[in-house]
Amino acid sequence: MLKRLSFTLTVTASLTGLYWLYALAVTPRLAPKLLTAQQRPKDVREEPKFEPPPSNIQNAKQFLPDASWAADAKFQIAMANGVLYTNNWRLVDEQQKGDDPQNLYEFRPFAMIWKDVPEPGDDGTESTAGKQPMTLMSESGLVQFSSKFDPVSRKYGRVVGGKLEGRVVASGPDGLTIRGRDFFFHEKSLELHSDMPVEFTFQQHRGTAKDGFKADLLPLAEPPRPDDFLAIAGIRRVMLRGPVEMDLANSDNPLHVTCDELFQFSPEQLVASFQGNVIVQRFTDHEQPDQLKGENLDLFFADDSAGSDASISRSRGDAPAIVPILRGDGPKGMSAAGPILSDLDPQDSRRASGSNGGSLALRELRMTGRRVVAESPSKGMTVVANSLVYDVVARTVKLVVIPTAGKSAGPELKSVFVRHKPSATDLNCPKLELTHDESGQVVSARGDGAGRMRRGALGSDKAEFSAKWQQGFDLQQVADSEMDLLTLVGGAVLQQPTRETGLKAEQIQLWFDRPTSVTDASRRASVRTEANNVSAVVAVNDTTPRSVPDLTSRDFRPRQLLAQDKVVVVSPQMNAETKRFVVNFDDSSPAPIDLAGGSKSPSRVRQAAASKSPSGKKPPSKTPTEPLQLSADLIRAKVRLPGDSRPVANGDAPQAELTEVWTEGNVDIQQSNEGVAEPLRLLGERLYLRNASSDGEQVLHVFGQPARIRARGFDIEGPEVILDRPNNRIWIDGAGELRMPVKNDPFDGREFGSPALLTVEWKEKMLFDGQNATFLAEVTATLKNSRLRCEEMEVVLTERLSFRDDAGPAPTAEVQQVICKDGVQVDQKLYIDEDPSEIRHGEFAKLTLDQTSGRMEAIGPGKIDLWRPGQGKRAGLAPRAVAQANRPLESEVANWDFTSVTFQGKAIGNMRDRQTKFQDRVHIVYGPVAHPLDTIDPDHLPKDGGYMECDSLQIVQIKPTGTQKPHIELEAKGNAKLEGRSFNARADEITFDESKKLYTLRATGNRQVTIWRQTTPDGEPSEASAKSMRFIPSQNYLRSDQTTGIRGTN
């Protein structure tokens, strides 16, 4: 069907040759004027012989070749428009009475030349010049006249009946000849008939009717005049009684038509019909002829008197213009334009010289029956219907199956069936309509009702291609192009089982190149070479349909496909659901496309060592076990066709490649694989997919508000998400969010009981190569009760995730390293049995966390704040109290211990050892507070609070052991200062043990530790110096070693 439905060649070639049949019915227009009624003579009487004029002898020699005696006939009687030839004539019985026939004459032998009534010429005069006369010849003729036959006085009367006995030959224009025996004519019954077999010829066409013929005649509209030779206006209907056979010659191959019952022609209605097992055969070089079979064949003609010129009539679509000329081996002297008179013998030339057979033009052909079958063994084509209608003017062929009423013998035909054996193609449809142009090229095809088309695979019983529809299909030529358009409507389905592909929609439209056939072109060139003197005629009328190629070449090149409404696409590479599906097919190789628009991953995004093999090449990808699952409101795709689209029997033909896909509206694309719990999934409003059919080589660009990619446990979203599978990269331009499960806390290295979801948000861009991820602008990372903020963050995973290799389970990737830059803030809450155990807040210029080694490094200026549940009654300051009175609260209301460390250099620690060392201008504030997140003003310390300064500080967090609760230990070195609400001290080193509330102060070299204390609220401060001191402020305990001085009250 997609190959231009080549069966129309056979149908049109077989049927249009029947155009010539109408001329067989034109001939009897003249015959009734020559034949006579059914009577036998009683005796024979010889009449006086007349001297014939020379013109009678000349006409007899020219127009009566079957009556060689006529030129020397004894009697040559000139009538109104003709000449009667006979050697003997007589009145059969002069004593006839009653019902006996009157004025009955016998002529033996009998011949007659009769010309039509003269018509006015261009100059107003009547002329019959150039017109072929009608002739009759028989062994004898009985003619009944309306009055006495008196040739001497030139009174003949009107012929009212008669019989032509023995062998009868009638001839007329266009080489028309009818041969038979015993023709009868009755004016009263208006019949002309014969019960004997008849033979007829017309130009190069021949036929026989076994049971004779009958002609129903038309009377004159007005009463006949005395000089009228026949009171007959014309023929109402001509019938040839079967079996009837006709051999119709045409410029391509001869046609043989047979019917078992009847052939009839109505000159009034201009309808010719065959009845009863009608068979039309077209003989070709093939061993078996092409055939058209049915019960009834009707031919409808139109009066084309104004265009009687043969070339004019044929140019408007008559038979010769639509019969394809494949070979120049037709009957001698025939071409697509008609007989070539110079090649005919003199007798044939004489018969064709006065032809005016262009007065009728075939308008419509109709074949009906329980099964109308058109078969072309030469083309391997079979068509089955029960109604075939060919409209010559509209150039359309209609094939229909009409449901029969009641029961019928044999299986009922439910749809038109078309089979093309060379391409193993079957077509079924209740109604099928084809239209061709002047050259015979099929320009459109339409089918109404539910139908299907199936095309078998070469060397297999399986279907290579199939199509189904519920409402109809339409095939049209695209204006001003070399493409055709096929449309399937209503539950349309296209399938390629051998390639496991299919398409379903309410409407499918397919644009494809109009196929051409090299074999046909070569054959047409051969015809032009062999035609010699008729080559020009053949070339002009060469109407081999170029749109119907040799289907064995299977050179099918689609250009565009459009499917609409409830679209479902199935293929090994992709399954899709959409409202609108558009595919563009391309022969050329696409140029490389840079989806990133020239943007590359910045150098700070380090490529993982596993991203390439040792040779530097990309590792080969494993084939996914499942196709892409795609849904969207609109899907547009681009397919690159192979250079040679012809498949071979073993299925190793080049495959079409899905190169690009665009989608719009509610985009959801997934790809599941064996061993992978969660499929690769993309969500958004628009999608661009490149290298769609190359496993592991796809590049996906998703747009949305937001667009999402879920892959290998990752969930990434943003306004534009790009997945570059061959380079194993994902990047997002604009704000976005990443979510991934982790088993360990990247902030402190703790292991979770079950994987927790790490969420990273950003405002500018994200880049990820499967192991290294970089986030830019207002980055926020959240994990359970922990949050990290910065302007730039880089996350390094323990294992590289492959977006190229979808086969097999995903590796269990954990966060190995987190690098944060610019405005880093860390907030963390720790819980024990749902009770808060610690709250942390940090601020840094840069922070690096290495989960593998546990190392933490922060670049200052920075700050770390810690809140932990209090160890007893401690003094503290609530934020409200600080704001109102700028005074610390009493110890009875303190519930939390607060520690704040600020530094200007670095902070280096280990999350596993839970120790941290701060460098350069370190300041520590600590003490009790009423609520978490409350802070302490160093200028207004609480009762049990303190303040420290030093060059470097080390903090160690001690884990609980036995009955000992968790606590911290501090070690400050270099210009260390300690301040409390009622004391301050100076030393080279100061340590603090939270579990004992003990400060240890030391001096190095020849320096001293100095402390100033106020032992009572209203007492005078005292000063003490020593090499080292142990001090517990809450107990007012001080012990010194190597004291060097005391001033004031101790």
Domains and CATH numbers, the chain: 25-117+130-241 (no CATH), 415-515+555-565 (2.60.450), 860-1047 (2.60.450.10)
The span from the CA of 555 to the CA of 884, in Å, is: 91
- Per DSSP, 964 falls in state B
Mean pLDDT (whole number) for 837-849: 90
* Band of residue 271 on the pLDDT scale cut at 50, 70, 90: confident
Q: Above 60 in pLDDT, residue 37?
A: no
Residue 673 has pLDDT above 90, yes or no: no
Token digits for 754?
């079950």
- pLDDT confidence of 100, banded at 50, 70, 90? low
Q: Residue 267 has what pLDDT?
A: 75
* For range 642-668, the mean pLDDT: 70
Query: In this predicted structure, which of 77-91, 364-378, 547-561 has the lowest mean pLDDT?
Result: 547-561
Backbone torsions φ then ψ of 323, nearest 5 degrees = -90, 115
Backbone phi and psi for residue 61, each to the nearest 5 degrees, phi listed first: -65, -35
State yes or no: pLDDT of 128 exceeds 90: no
DSSP symbol at 625: S
* pLDDT of amino acid 80: 66
- What pLDDT, on a 0 to 100 scale, did the predictor assign at position 333? 29
The predicted pLDDT at position 881 comes to 33
pLDDT at position 1046, please?
77
**pLDDT recorded at residue 250:** 66
The yes-or-no verdict on residue 74 having pLDDT over 70 is yes
Lowest mean pLDDT among 317-331, 579-593, 813-827, 861-875: 317-331
pLDDT at 54: 85
pLDDT in tens, 487-536: 999 999 998 887 788 999 999 999 988 766 444 444 444 444 444 443 33
If DSSP states are collapsed to H, E and C, what string results for 144-159? EECCCCECCCCECCCE
Find the mean pLDDT for residues 321-346: 30
What is the band of 922 on the pLDDT scale with cuts at 50, 70, 90? very high
Average pLDDT, the chain: 75
Q: Nearest Cα to 460, choosing from 186, 651, 190?
A: 651
Q: Which of 287-301, 430-444, 458-472, 511-525 has the lowest mean pLDDT?
A: 511-525
The pLDDT, as a whole number, for residue 892 is: 47
Q: Is the pLDDT of residue 442 over 80?
A: no
Q: Is 592 helix (H, G, I), strand (E, B) or coil?
A: coil
Is the model's pLDDT at 668 over the cut of 60? yes
pLDDT of residue 57: 87
pLDDT (average), residues 554-572 = 85
Residue 350 identity: R
Sign of the dihedral through C-alpha 937, 940, 946, 947? positive
CA-based torsion, 361, 123, 56, 346: positive or negative: negative
Name every residue whose Cβ is closer than 8 Å to that of residue 596 and which is 6 or more positions away in sequence.
Answer: 722, 724, 731
Q: Which residues contact 475 (CB under 8 A, 6 or more apart)?
A: 1, 4, 5, 444, 445, 446, 484, 485, 486, 487
Write the DSSP symbol of residue 319.
Answer: H
What tens digit of pLDDT does each residue of 769-796 get? 888 999 999 999 988 888 899 999 998 9
List the structure tokens of 322. 């639509």
Q: Is residue 22 classed as helix, strand or coil in its secondary structure?
A: helix
Between these two residues, 180 and 657, which has the higher pLDDT value? 180
- Mean pLDDT for 204-225 is 84
Residue 96: what pLDDT?
Answer: 57
Number of neighbours of residue 907 by Cβ within 10 angstroms: 25
Range in 324-333, 383-392, 794-803 the model is least confident about: 324-333
Global pTM value: 0.66
For residue 687, pLDDT beyond 80: yes
pLDDT at 900 over 60: yes
Q: What are phi and psi of 322, to 5 degrees?
A: -115, 5
| Neighbouring-strand partners of residue 715 | 710, 739
d(CA 874, CA 936): 13
The pLDDT of 684-692, averaged and rounded, is 83
Top pLDDT among 775 and 103 is at: 775
